[in-house]
Structure 1
C-alpha cells in the first residue's frame, strides 16, 4: 500500500539522531557517557555563574573603603578650592603693597580699591566648603563597624572564612580609627574656612579603643577653643589670616583719609607690618596647606586606584575598566 501524501513530515526529516546514539535495547558506551557528563557539568557550572550571589565579607570591606575614599577626595577638592581663594586674596594684597610703594595719590586710590576687594573677597563664602558638612555627615554615619551575620547558613561557612573574616575585622577597626581622625581634622578646617562653629563634630569614641581618651581629650580642647572664638564675635580663626585682617583694618583709614606728614612714619610701619603678615599668610599657611592637602589627595587617590585595579583583575567587580579609569572619573 502506498504511503498517504497528506501525513505530516517527521520532526527529524533525516531520522531520529538519538536512535543513532543509543540504539534500542543498548546502553551508552563509557565514552559517550563521559562526554554527556562533561557536557552537563559544564552547563551546570555556567548556569551557576549567571546566578547573582550575595556579597561576602571581603566585598563589603571593599565597598566601604571605596565609598570613604570618594568622600575624602571630594573634601580635598573643596579644601583645594578654598586654598585657591586664599591665593586670590594674596594677589589682591600684593597689588595693595605695590601701589603703596608710590606716593602718588592715584596709586593710593588703587590700593584702597584693592583693599575693598580683599575685604569683600575674604568675607564671602565658598559653597564647596559649605557642602563639606554633608560629606562629613556621611562619614560619621559610616563610623559604626559592620556586623557579621551569624545565621545557620553563615555558620556553615564560618570555618572556611574564619581567616578572611579576621582580616576584615582588623581592617575595619583600623579604618575606624583613620575615619575618626580624618572626620575630626576635616571638620576643624571646614569650620575655620567657613567661619561657622556648626561645622565641628563631637565624636564620642568608645573606651574599648586604646586611643579613645587621647582623641576625646583633643576634640574637647580644640572644639571648645574654636567655639569660644566664634562666641566672642570673631569670624576668622586662622591666626595668619586674622593677623593680615588686623593690619588691613589699621591701614585702611590712613589710605582713605590721606596721610598726615606727621604720621608718615606710622604709615610706613603699617605698610611694613602688612607686608610681613602677608608673607606669613602665604608661606606659613597657604603653602603649607597646599602641600599637605595635595599629599593627602594623592595618597587617597593612589589607594583608591590600586584597590579598583586589583579587584577588577580578580573579577570582584563587574566592570574591568573601572579601576583603570579612576583618575578620569575623579
Structure 2
C-alpha cells in the first residue's frame, strides 16, 4: 500500500455544516410524546452502538479485522433501526416529505457502491491468502524448488501491494455523498416539516453521520491513504443529541491511530495482515538460510487461516449491510408508489408495477460482486 508523509483528514463540511438546519432550537415543538419516545429510543440505541466501537484498552483493537467486523455489524444494526423507525412513525407521504425519502434513496445508493467496493477489496485480500496457502502446500510436499517457493512469496507481496480500482473511487463517492447532503438539506431548510417528518429527519441525520464516518475509515484503511478519512464536527445546535459525545470520543480514538499508522513504515495498516507479512518475511529468510522448520510454517499457516476467516466475517457483515439498505430503500420506495396509486385512485398498470419492482429490487443485482 502507498505511503504518505502527512495528509490531514478532511473536515466534514468545511464551509459549515448544512445539516444543522434539521433541528430548530425549539426542536420538540409540535412533536407528540409518542414520536419523542420513538426518537429517544432510536438515538439511545445509536449512542450505545457507537460507544461499543470505542476500544476499552489503549487502542490496540483498532485497525484489526475484528474491529472492522464489529464496525460493519454496527452499521448494519443502525440501518435496520432506521427501517424500523420509518414503519413505526407511519409517515404520511406528502409532496414535501417525498424530498427526504429521495434523499435517503440517493444516499443509500452511494452506500451500496461503497459496500460493493469494500467487498471487492476483501475478496482481493483473501485471494492473497490463497496464494500463501498454495505456497505452503508446495513447501510441505516439497513439490517445488526453494527458488520457486521464494517466487511464490514474492508474488504474494506484489499482489498485496497492488491497487484496487474500486477502492480508488471511494474518496470521490464520499465527497459526492457530502455534497448531496449539503444540497438536499439546504433546500429542506426553507420548508416546514410535520412532527413526523422532523423526527425522521433527525434520525436520518444520525444514520448519515455514522455511516459517513465508518465508511471513510474503511476507505482509508483499504486505500492506504488518509485522503478519504473524514473528521466530523457536530454543530452547536445539535450538541444535545445523545450520540454526539460518543461520536467525538470514537473519532478521537480512531483518527490518531490511523494517522500514526500511515506515518510509520508499515507494509499495511491492518494489524492482522501486518503480522502475516512479518511471518512471511521471516519464512523468506529461513528458506534462504536453509533453516525452515515445520513449526515456522505451521504457525504462519495458522495465522493465514485465521485471517481468511476474519475477512470472511467482515465480508458477510458487509453483505448484511447491503441487503439491509436495499430493504430500507424498498420500504421508502413502496410508500411513494402507494401514494401514487392513492392519488390516481387506481391500481397501477402491470407494466408500472413491474417497473416498481425493478426500482426497489434491482440494486441487489447491480451491486452483486463480480
Q: So what's the TM-score if we normalise by structure 1?
A: 0.71
Alpha-carbon separation, structure 1, partners of 2:120 and 2:296: 30
1:188 is aligned to 2:221: no
Q: Deviations over 1:169-207 (max 9, x none)?
A: 111111110111111111111111111122210000131
1:63 is aligned to 2:102: yes
- Confirm or deny: 8 A CA contact 1:96 1:110 kept in the other structure: no
Match of 1:328 in 2: 362
1:248 is aligned to 2:277: no
- Confirm or deny: 8 A CA contact 2:115 2:322 kept in the other structure: yes
- Give 5+ residue unaligned stretches, structure 2: 1-93
Higher Rg: 1
Alignment of 1:21-60 (within 5 A): 56-60=95-99
Calculate the aligned-residue CA RMSD, in Å.
2.3
Instruction: State which of 251, 254, 260 in structure 2 corresponds to 1:222.
Output: 254
- Give 5+ residue unaligned stretches, structure 1: 1-54, 151-157, 159-163
1:120 shift after superposition: 0.5
Instruction: State which of 303, 309, 313 in structure 2 corresponds to 1:277.
Output: 303
Alpha-carbon separation, structure 2, partners of 1:74 and 1:126: 14
1:79 shift after superposition: 0.5
Higher RCO structure, 1 or 2 (CA under 8 Å, sep 6+): 2
Aligned residues: 256
1:84 is aligned to 2:123: yes
Instruction: State which of 261, 268, 276 in structure 1 corresponds to 2:294.
Output: 268
Alignment of 1:126-141 (within 5 A): 126-141=164-179
Match of 1:18 in 2: none
Alpha-carbon separation, structure 2, partners of 1:232 and 1:299: 37
Match of 1:203 in 2: 232
1:149 is aligned to 2:193: no
- Confirm or deny: 8 A CA contact 1:129 1:190 kept in the other structure: yes
1:62 shift after superposition: 1.2
